[in-house]
Chain A
């Protein structure tokens, strides 16, 4: 089973609709992240959370909100979707105490492809 799962994998919606993207992880990591990926722009950080009570804005948080329901769950919401939020969205986790690699290695889910018409 995948360690980081995202639902849905694909979503088409209309301008103005509220959308929630969900992320679950079984890795036991405290840190979770939401990114969006656009062609030519790489991965840009939307929000991140270091534990259930800690939520922080990333570089492009406008138009988005998040909820950390539990250590294993981190949801991203688009309150009123607009076409320029069409992108590939990734959830990631990390554990700074992880042995054997860089302490800030991030583990990504498979992504959600969101289209806003």
Chain B
């Protein structure tokens, strides 16, 4: 079983829809939870990060972490065609001596006009 599981989709939604992307994980030592966005033919870029449990909001994006369930989510409100990309969750135990990130498989999202 992979340490981080993410439904690869693909997910196709109409413009304006609310999108929910999710990851589950098995390593209870993970403390940093990140979402990367990757446009076609580009490298991933950090979209949001959360430390430990709780919610974080940035414009149309909300990241949630539930450590008790080992479950993280990214919500996109009022989705736009420009949100079409692959979304990767990534996690770390926060150890500065390593800095390793463990990635999910990535979810391909298409928002159609």
Number of interface residues of B (CB under 8 A): 24
Is residue B43 contacting chain A, with contact meaning CB distance below 8 A? yes
State A6–B106 Cα separation when bound (angstroms). Answer: 22
Do the beta carbons of A96 and B96 come within 8 Å of each other? yes
Asked whether A80 is an interface residue with its Cβ less than 8 Å from the other chain, the reply is no
- When A and B form their complex, what is the total count of cross-chain residue pairs whose Cβ atoms lie within 8 Å? 62
B residues in contact (CB < 8 Å) with A: 4, 6, 8, 32, 34, 41-46, 49, 51, 88, 92, 94, 96, 99-101, 103-106
A43 contacts B103, CB within 8 Å?
Answer: yes
A-B contact pairs, 21 of them (CB 8 A): A31-B99, A40-B105, A42-B104, A42-B105, A43-B88, A44-B103, A45-B100, A101-B49, A102-B34, A102-B92, A103-B94, A103-B96, A103-B99, A104-B92, A104-B99, A104-B100, A104-B101, A105-B34, A105-B46, A108-B43, A111-B43
Q: Which residue of A is nearest B45, CB measured?
A: A108
A56 CB to nearest B CB, Å: 9
Chain A nearest CB, measured from B105 CB (Å): 4
Instruction: Give the nearest-CB partner of A94 in chain B.
Output: B99
Q: Are B106 and A111 in contact (CB under 8 A)?
A: no
Contact B105 A105 (CB under 8 A): no
Cβ A111 vs Cβ B42 within 8 A = yes
Docked-complex contact B94 and A104, CB < 8 angstroms: yes
Query: Using Cβ atoms and an 8 Å threshold, which residues of chain B touch A4?
Result: 43
A39–B107 Cα gap in the complex (Å)? 10
With contacts A101-B46, A101-B49 taken as known, whether A42 is within 8 angstroms of B88 at the C-beta atoms is yes
Q: How far is the CA of A5 from the CA of B13 in the complex (A)?
A: 33
Assess whether A74 is interfacial by the CB under 8 Å rule. Answer: no
Kindly list chain A residues whose C-beta atoms are within 8 Å of the C-beta of B106.
Answer: 42-43
Contact between A102 and B32, CB atoms less than 8 A apart: yes
Bound state CA distance, A17 and B68, in angstroms? Answer: 49
Known: A40-B105, A90-B43, A104-B92. 17 other contacts (CB 8 A): A4-B43, A31-B99, A40-B8, A42-B105, A43-B44, A43-B88, A44-B103, A50-B99, A90-B44, A94-B99, A102-B32, A102-B46, A102-B92, A104-B101, A106-B101, A109-B43, A111-B42
